[in-house]
Amino acid sequence: MSEFAGETAALTPTVITTPSSIPADLQQQGEKLEAARTEQLKPAMLARQMDGMAKRIGTIKEDIESGDLYLDPAAGEEIKNMLQEQMDRVDGWIERANSLARRAPFGANPVGEAMALKFEDRAGGEGTSFRGVFTPYREILGEAHEAVTQAMNLYQQIEQDNVDSFKRIRPGGDNEAV
């Protein structure tokens, strides 16, 4: 018999079947890892959401151009006002991000320089920086605003065409359009 034979019971794997059977320190460590992974995925998720919004706006524009979508001017004005308010908010965020996109005076040493560069890049860099995220969002809002204006114009054009067709109806009861 091996000298390790008496210790095999200690090497038997433990099956954890419920969250309550996970030790608290391991559970906290797992939660921290999950939070870190979620933080890493947020920029990718945000980029996907931006792509999805841009595609939806593109689809709306196509529907407007084909005449399949038009919008009552009263409802359109409400939507345009909402979009304008959001664009103004985003413009403020971008302005603040631009003001943050400067080197902070952390000192003339390697660590201070690295930290200054990191903070500058987070605010004004490309990709996942504040400006890198909010600028495409602002562009999407602008495209949506433009699409609403086009849909309102199409509605007004259709209404005017209908008015013109009624004006062309001949008097005298035969109700044929000219």
Structure tokens at 32: 């921290």
Return the pLDDT at 43. Answer: 62
Answer whether residue 21 shows pLDDT above 60: no
Which range, of 1-10, 22-31, 79-88, averages the lowest pLDDT?
A: 1-10
The residue that leads in pLDDT, 142 or 67, is 142
Structure tokens at 93: 């965020």
Return the pLDDT at 24. Answer: 57
Instruction: For residue range 87-109, list pLDDT tens digits in order.
Output: 999 999 888 877 776 777 777 88
141 burial level (CB within 10 Å; 0-12, 13-18, 19+)? buried
- Going along the chain from its start, the domains and CATH numbers come out as 70-161 (1.10.287)
| DSSP assignment of 130-162 | HHHHHHHHHHHHHHHHHHHHHHHHHHHHHHHHH
Instruction: For residue range 106-153, list pLDDT tens digits in order.
Output: 778 888 788 777 776 666 666 666 777 788 889 999 999 999 999 999
88 burial level (CB within 10 Å; 0-12, 13-18, 19+)? exposed
- N- to C-terminal Cα distance for the chain? 109
